[in-house]
């Protein structure tokens, strides 16, 4: 079938997204699903106009009083939830405890903490799909209540054609323009599309948006984001498998010798099968380290018949001559992330500790959905302060109040296991 998400070869990490989009295209073909037609002419002439309207709306909302923006988002998301809204309790114990912890962190450090709501991701189709809007609504309201004063909470949201494939071009442009400007929109397919639309929102490019996120947090602002970085299948491939490949490289017997790594890869049968499989949907990356990432992602996405992420990982560890004593722990990490709806995102937490919490305290607020009983919960907040390179001091809002020091990767694992298992 023709590519539903055409993406030029850029020679950058964006090419790795092709494993995700190709897997979804295969699923669409099996299900016989038909996406809205989006002609090239509409993308060239209509989408930029709609995007400009969205950007104008964002600029107008920036001028409104902060609490107006919260109220407008509340009403808009209530409407999108299609009458199935869940009540938000501003005096819920978790909200009250988080507000108190934020005040404590501000008193101890002399700086107001940055607030980061970490959201789960319900299915995008079916009975639970409305909870996606409810999670965003509850996150915005929770951030406002915990801050305790007028503020403009922002959301990290995907605005690329892959994320917006079920709506028309005009709606896509309007959404991308507004969410990419007022909120922290991220375009995972920004490079090489050759359209005016992405050029109008350069701050949303996947290689620039993270800096915008850390700047917002460094300024002590309020942000909500889905911890998995997308639907569960995307999160497992794009973050679970790819980030694991980086840890495997760090454990290799020759992490600074790409030529030797490439020679070992070329001699492996599983890697040879990957090379044959990948040419059908994407160009082969340059360099052994990027190839290993693509190999693991392709297997995790189900694009290599008879191969799984775990079997490819075993072969990759052998190619890299990772010591036997380190292999079991690495494979256990990968196996855990491949079975979760939300991977641990160890690299994200490392950056949150090293870039955000190093400048000011950071309050992590889990906002999760549940199927039984159906609803949304704001859970216990964790206060994070920097405790030296790669380490954080963590205080739980509902705990004893005593700080606990831990490594950034331990923070990632424990926070994910407790709230997103």
Condensed to tens digits (0 to 9), the pLDDT of residues 255-274 reads 889 899 989 999 999 999 99
**Residue 61 in this model has a pLDDT that exceeds 90:** yes
Task: Answer with the one of 339, 368, 400 that is the final residue of a domain.
Answer: 339
Alpha helices in 64-151 (DSSP H): 66-80, 93-109, 131-147
Contact 146, 253 (CB under 8 A): no
Copy the structure tokens of residue 153. Answer: 């909470």
Give the containing element (helix H, strand E) for 319.
Answer: helix 309-319
Judge if 185 and 97 occupy the same domain.
yes
Judge if 288 and 404 occupy the same domain.
no
Copy the structure tokens of residue 169. Answer: 């071009």
What residue numbers bound the domain in which 58 lies?
Answer: 40-81+93-227+345-420
**Residue 190 in this model has a pLDDT that exceeds 90:** yes
Q: Using only C-alpha atoms, what is the Rg of the chain? A: 22
Q: What is the pLDDT of residue 99?
A: 97
Judge if 270 and 127 occupy the same domain.
no
Q: What is the pLDDT of residue 3?
A: 64
Residue 162: which region, alpha, beta or left (left: phi > 0; alpha: psi -120 to 50)? alpha
Judge if 252 and 269 occupy the same domain.
yes
Q: Is 407 a member of any domain?
A: yes
Mean pLDDT of the chain: 92
Judge if 212 and 186 occupy the same domain.
yes
User: Cα-Cα-Cα-Cα dihedral of 220, 174, 4, 286, to 10°?
Assistant: -40
Q: What is the pLDDT of residue 2?
A: 54
Copy the structure tokens of residue 135. Answer: 């999670």
Number of neighbours of residue 17 by Cβ within 10 angstroms: 21
Copy the structure tokens of residue 285. Answer: 């990356």
Judge if 127 and 203 occupy the same domain.
yes
**Residue 317 in this model has a pLDDT that exceeds 50:** yes
**Residue 180 in this model has a pLDDT that exceeds 70:** yes
Cα→Cα distances 132→70, 74, 124, 127, Å: 17, 13, 7, 11
d(CA 182, CA 147): 19
Q: Is 107 a member of any domain?
A: yes
Judge if 220 and 332 occupy the same domain.
no
Q: Is 88 a member of any domain?
A: no
Q: What is the pLDDT of residue 9?
A: 87
Answer with the residue of higher pLDDT: 283 or 336.
336
**Residue 329 in this model has a pLDDT that exceeds 90:** yes
Write the CB contacts of 71 (distance below 8 Å, at least 6 apart in sequence): none
Kindly indicate the confidence band of residue 1, based on its pLDDT and cuts at 50, 70 and 90. very low
Q: Is 9 a member of any domain?
A: no
Judge if 195 and 48 occupy the same domain.
yes
Lowest mean pLDDT among 33-42, 65-74, 199-208: 33-42
Q: Please report how many Cα atoms fall inside a 13 Å half-sphere around the Cα of residue 121, on the Cβ side.
A: 21
- Work out the burial of residue 268: count CB atoms within 10 Å of its CB; fewer than 13 is exposed, 13-18 middle, 19 or more buried: middle
Give the containing element (helix H, strand E) for 81.
Answer: none
Q: Is 219 a member of any domain?
A: yes
Q: Is the peptide bond before 373 cis (omega within 30 degrees of 0)?
A: yes
- Work out the burial of residue 63: count CB atoms within 10 Å of its CB; fewer than 13 is exposed, 13-18 middle, 19 or more buried: exposed
Judge if 157 and 70 occupy the same domain.
yes
In total, how many domains does the chain have? 2
Task: Answer with the one of 339, 360, 386 that is the final residue of a domain.
Answer: 339
Average pLDDT (198-227) is 96
Write the CB contacts of 79 (distance below 8 Å, at least 6 apart in sequence): none
Q: Is 108 a member of any domain?
A: yes
Judge if 215 and 249 occupy the same domain.
no
Judge if 99 and 222 occupy the same domain.
yes
Q: Pick the closest to residue 365 from 380, 347, 346 (CA basis).
A: 380
Q: What single-letter DSSP state applies at residue 205? A: B
Judge if 364 and 295 occupy the same domain.
no
Cα→Cα distances 187→68, 150, 159, 416, Å: 27, 29, 5, 25
Contact 176, 188 (CB under 8 A): no
Parallel/antiparallel/unpaired status of strands 222-226 and 154-158? parallel
- % the chain with pLDDT above 90: 76
Average pLDDT (112-117) is 98
Contact 342, 240 (CB under 8 A): no
d(CA 255, CA 401): 41
Average pLDDT (383-401) is 93
Contact 277, 322 (CB under 8 A): no
Q: Is 120 a member of any domain?
A: yes
Q: Is 21 a member of any domain?
A: no
pTM: 0.94
Q: Is the peptide bond before 339 cis (omega within 30 degrees of 0)?
A: no
SS3 for 201?
coil
Average pLDDT (336-354) is 93
Task: Answer with the one of 339, 372, 397 that is the final residue of a domain.
Answer: 339
Average pLDDT (78-104) is 92
């Amino acid at each position: 079938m023709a590519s539903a998400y055409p993406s030029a070869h850029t020679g950058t990490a964006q090419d790795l997204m092709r494993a995700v989009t190709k897997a979804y295209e295969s699923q669409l073909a099996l299900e016989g699903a038909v996406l809205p037609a989006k002609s090239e002419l509409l993308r060239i002439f209509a989408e930029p106009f709609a995007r400009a309207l969205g950007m104008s709306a964002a600029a107008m909302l920036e001028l409104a009083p902060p609490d107006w923006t919260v109220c407008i988002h509340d009403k808009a998301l209530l409407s999108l939830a299609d009458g199935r809204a869940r009540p938000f309790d501003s005096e819920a114990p978790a909200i009250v405890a988080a507000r108190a912890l934020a005040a404590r962190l501000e008193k101890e450090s002399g700086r107001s903490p940055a607030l980061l709501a970490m959201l789960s991701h319900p299915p995008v189709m079916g009975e639970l799909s409305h909870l996606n809007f409810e999670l965003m609504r509850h996150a915005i309201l929770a951030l406002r209540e915990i801050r305790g004063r007028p503020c403009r909470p922002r959301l990290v949201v995907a605005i690329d054609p892959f994320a917006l494939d079920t709506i028309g071009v005009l709606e896509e442009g309007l959404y991308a323009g507004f969410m990419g400007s007022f909120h922290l929109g991220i375009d995972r397919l920004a490079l090489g599309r050759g359209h005016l639309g992405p050029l109008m929102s350069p701050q949303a490019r996947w290689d620039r948006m993270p800096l915008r996120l850390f700047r917002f947090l460094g300024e002590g602002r309020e942000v909500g984001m889905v911890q998995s970085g997308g639907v569960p299948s995307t999160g497992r491939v794009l973050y679970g498998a790819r980030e694991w490949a980086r840890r495997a490289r760090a454990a290799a017997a020759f992490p600074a010798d790409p030529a030797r790594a490439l020679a070992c890869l070329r001699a492996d049968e599983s890697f040879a099968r990957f090379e044959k499989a990948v040419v059908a949907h994407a160009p082969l990356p340059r360099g052994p380290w990027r190839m290993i990432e693509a190999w693991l992602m392709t297997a995790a996405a189900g694009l290599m018949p008879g191969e799984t992420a775990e079997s490819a990982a075993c072969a990759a560890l052998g190619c890299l001559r990772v010591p036997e004593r380190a292999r079991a722990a690495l494979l256990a990490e990968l196996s855990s992330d491949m079975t979760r709806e939300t991977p641990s995102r160890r690299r994200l937490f490392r950056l949150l500790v090293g870039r955000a919490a190093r400048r000011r305290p950071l309050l992590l607020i889990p906002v999760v959905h549940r199927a039984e009983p159906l609803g949304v919960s704001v859970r216990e907040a964790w206060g994070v302060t920097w405790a030296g390179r790669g380490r954080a001091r963590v205080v739980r809002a509902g705990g004893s109040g005593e700080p606990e020091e831990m490594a950034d990767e331990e923070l990632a694992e424990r926070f994910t296991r407790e709230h997103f298992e």
